[in-house]
Structure 1
Amino acid sequence: MAKLAKIEFVCTDCGMNYPRWQGQCRCGAWNTLAEMKISPSQSKSATKSRTSSGGYAGGTGGGSKKINEVETTEAEKQLTGIGELDRVLCGGVTTGSVNIISGDPGAGKTTLLSDLVSRMSQLMPSLYCTAEESLSQFKNRVQRLKLDYNPDELYLLSETSVEAIIEELEQKKIKFAVIDSIQAVVTDNANGSPGSPSQVKSAAQALTQYCKQNNVTMFLIAHVNKNNEIAGPQTLVHIVDALLHIDTNDGQIRTLRANKNRFGDIDTVGIFKMCERGMLSVDNPSEIFLSGSSTESPGSAITCIRKGNRNLLLEIQCLTTETEAEFPQRVCVGLNMNRIKMLTGILRKHTKTKIYHDTFFNIIGGLKIDESETCIDLALVTALLSSLNEFVIPRTTCIMGELSLNGDVRPIDSGVPRVKEAAQHGFKEIFIPFRNYHKSMEGLGAKITPVKTIHELIELIK
């Protein structure tokens, strides 16, 4: 008599298995257990595979070794020619690494990796495996973007079986590969449909083991859920070497950030611009976030924010108009509404400013500012007062600083690098918190004006 299939419940967040359903997983997530049926033959096959796999890195076992017996190898990095991607990966892609790139639909994952695989084909045999579109669609994209590739070294594959993909990598001696996507491929060593926790984990483990054993560099495209997080088990993040994520900003600007990188830091942010020629690296992002207008008008202030370890100059615009409704409107694009309400409250309390107007805030370039980026407080307040009182802030002035509830100007992090960035772009006067002032700011060619309170700033700026 044939044995019945075994039923397990797998957490979609962390991949932990349970013999029966329960409301909360040990990882803390609620209602994330999904029912999975595992046949006896598949269970034995998976167990055997896990026993002989030697871990995610594909080690061969052989017992423990003394630390002096282990051979060390330096991580070899290869420049891709895509400046912002090389910046985020801290000097290029690491040979033999497995990397994940995620993002919303339309963020530019396929566009960026199409460019990358085309460039790498000029250096080594490269393969793009697509499980979500036809080969002709991929070729049309390459031709539309006018990508430069080596036709003798670029291979295209439409396959969903991990075993078939690995066999193709072995036969063609591929050294660089892209899998689109990890949620669309399946392996014989796991049960479930494509995208299920067991399939995603087992497929990523099999591909990682092959890459580590054969020194193959691989990029995996990953889907995201409605919370903009990688779909599937959290174990997927632990298996790979680097996790890159593309953020969209409701426009052409894309920001690439490394949430994990075993071969470098995760403080660097890459800026791209999506256009008809693909994802283009932006070497000087500050030019995008400044309007470039030669005319000076009320309601505009320039500040300096920090994205990762990069300093970006951006322009904040404010427009105030007499309201025609019973209650004035507060509209902001790219900014946190709660912070806007707090800053207007500070103005009413400490400067007795009456704001009975419709107020509109906008960030040039379509960038979204995180709520934690408080250094723009002074620029927001100054832009509001400038529009309200009809005075002009010179375009050669940069304002940065955090505003506290009692009207004091609080210090910001990395004050010296921000001031140097502004001075390099030709700003003549820079307003900073008093406690951020440092002697190293002298001799930069700009007038550094430290301020202590909002009252002092208003007196100086008018």
Structure 2
Amino acid sequence: MVKAAKIEFVCTDCGMNHTRWQGQCRCGAWNTLVEMKIPKAASKNAATRTTSTGGYAGLTGGGSKKINEIESIDAEKRSTGIGELDRVLCGGVTTGSVNIISGDPGAGKTTLLSDLVARMSKTHASLYCTAEESLSQFKNRVHRLKLDYDEDNLYLLAETSVEAIIDELDKNKIKFAVIDSIQAVVTENANGSPGSPSQVKSSAQSLTQYCKQNNVTMFIIAHVNKNNEIAGPQTLVHIVDALLHIDTNDGQIRTLRANKNRFGDIDTVGIFKMCERGMLSVDNPSEIFLSGSSTESPGSTITCIRKGNRNLLLEIQCLTTETEAEFPQRVCVGLNMNRIKMLTGILRKHTKTKIFHDTFFNIVGGLKIDESETCIDLALVTALLSSLNDFVIPRNTCIMGELSLNGDVRPIDSGVPRVKEAAQHGFTEIFIPYRNYHKSMEGLGANIKAVKTIHELIELIK
């Protein structure tokens, strides 16, 4: 007689297991419990494998050890040859690590990893397993992108079975692999259709266990939901070593960031440009976000933002025109509309500026600015006043600072690195909050102007 499958309910937010369904998980999330059927036979086999191998690392048993008895082994990092990816991974991909990369459809996940697997094939056997397209489609992409690869070391596989994938990895002695995608593969150790929580969790566990035991480096592509968050159970994030996410902006710019990294920090952001040759690393992003125009015109201001631990110079443009309607328009691209409304209110209150114009804001290069990035307040105000009053902000001027509701200029984080970034790019006049001024800024070859209020800023820029 076949034993009935064990039923558990797993929270897709935190991964907690429950014996019965309930409306709210202990983590506080509502309606996040999903039914998972686990065959008893599969659970028994899985337990046997875990006992014999001693966990993902493949160590035998032997009980606990004193910390001084354990040999310390430094993680080996290998450069991928893709500058921005190495930056996000803090020096390169860690040998034997399992990494997930996610992003919207069309963000460039497959394009980036196709380039990566081609580069890895130059040094050791590499496999790209595609469960969502044919092998001829992948080969056509490789030729279209003109990727350089070793034909003897690059293997392609169209397979959805995790067990078959592992057999192929073992047969060809693969040391680098890409799985595209985790939502499309299935394992015999779990019930459900591809993409279900039980299949996603069990498939990731099986692949990770094999990689850890055989020192195989793996990248797994994961889908995202409508909120641009990784789809599937939250336990998927806990299983892997690193979680990378590609953010898509309005233009060709892509930003890669690490939401989790067991072998480095998560403060670094990589900048890519999508073009016909694929995802190209942008070594100097400030060149993209500056228009490069030599003509000075009203409504243009340059500022410095911070993406992770990286400082980026960008240009903010503003255009004001007399309104032809009863109410003026407020249009912004790449900026938060509520922030724009607040800043125009501050100008009306403290400077008595009358803004009965249609106002349009734009970020050069198509970058999206987070609402938490308040250091661009002074640049936004300056660009608006410049267009409204028809005066020019010199191209060698950089303005940064946060503006409070009472008209004071508040300090920003990492003021010294931002000023150094601007000085290195040739800006000779830099406006900063008064409390961000430091003596180390004096030897940078730039005229540092520290301001306390919006009134001081207006007097200095006119």
**2 CA distance for matches of 1:216 and 1:428?**
50
Question: What does 1:251-400 align with in structure 2 at a 5 Å threshold?
Answer: 251-400=251-400
Aligned partner letter, 1:405? L
Q: Matches of 2:36 and 2:68 in 1, distance apart?
A: 45
Structure 2 CA distance for aligned equivalents of residues 227 and 135 of structure 1: 31
Q: Aligned equivalents of 1:393 and 1:441: distance in 2?
A: 22
CA distance in 2, matches of 1:342, 1:399: 19
Aligned to 2:230: 230
What is the identity, as a one-letter code, of the residue corresponding to 2:331?
Answer: V
CA distance in 1, matches of 2:215, 2:43: 30
- Is contact 1:201–1:233 with CA below 8 Å preserved after alignment? yes
The residue aligned with 1:175 is 175
The number of residue pairs the alignment matches comes to: 462
Q: Could you say which residue in structure 2 is the equivalent of 1:460? A: 460
Q: 1:50, CA displacement in angstroms?
A: 5.0
Which residue is equivalent to 2:21? 21
1:199 CA drift (Å):
1.4
Question: TM-score when scaled to structure 1?
Answer: 0.97
Q: Distance in 2 between the 1:410 and 1:385 partners? A: 20
CA distance in 2, matches of 1:49, 1:223: 29
What is the letter of the counterpart of residue 251 of structure 2?
G
1:7 maps to 2:4: no
Partner residue in 2 for 1:450? 450
Conservation of the 8 A alpha-carbon contact between 2:402 and 2:410: yes
CA–CA separation in structure 2 for the residues paired with 1:451 and 1:311: 21
Indicate the larger mover: 442-451 or 116-125: 442-451
What CA distance in whole angstroms lies between the structure 2 residues aligned with 1:129 and 1:3?
34
- Tell me, yes or no, if structure 1 residue 190 matches structure 2 residue 190: yes
Do the aligned residues in 2 keep the contact of 1:11 with 1:197 (CA within 8 Å)?
no
Structure-2 separation of matches of 1:188 and 1:52 = 20
Which stretch of the first structure deviates more once superposed, 235-244 or 34-43? 34-43
CA distance, structure 1, for counterparts of residue 7 and residue 209 of structure 2: 28
Distance 1:335 1:223 in 2: 27
Consecutive unaligned residues of structure 1, counting only runs of 5 or more, are: none
Task: Specify the code of the residue in structure 2 equivalent to 1:94.
Answer: T
Deviation at 1:55, TM superposition (A): 3.4
Distance 1:400 1:15 in 2: 42
Q: Does 1:100 align with 2:100?
A: yes
Indicate the residue corresponding to 2:44 in structure 1: 44
Q: Deviations over 1:147-183 (max 9, x none)?
A: 0000000000111111111111111001111111111
Q: Is the 8 A contact 1:42 1:191 kept in 2?
A: no
SS of structure 2 residue aligned to 1:7: strand
| Contact 2:56 2:213 (C-alpha < 8 Å) held by counterparts | no
Query: Is 1:433 aligned to residue 448 of structure 2?
Result: no
Cα shift at 1:243: 0.9
Are 1:143 and 2:120 matched, yes or no?
no
Q: Provide the C-alpha distance between the structure 1 equivalents of 2:40 and 2:242, rounded to a whole number of angstroms.
A: 35
Change (3 A) 1:96 1:40: closer
Q: Does structure 2 retain, via aligned residues, the 8 Å contact 1:49–1:189? A: no
Equivalent in the alignment of 2:402: 402
Paired residue for 1:60?
60
AA matched with 2:298: P
Instruction: Encode CA deviations 1:287-318: one digit per residue, 9 max, x unaligned.
Output: 00001111111111000001111110000000
CA contact (8 A) 2:39 2:190 kept: no
Q: Distance in 2 between matches of 1:438 and 1:292?
A: 30
Q: Counterpart amino acid of 2:24? A: Q
For residues 397-440 of structure 1, the C-alpha deviation after alignment (integer angstroms, 9 at most, x for no partner) is 10000001110111111111111111111111111111111111
The whole-number CA distance in structure 2 between the counterparts of 1:3 and 1:133 is 37
CA distance 1:2–1:445, shift in 2 (3 Å): closer
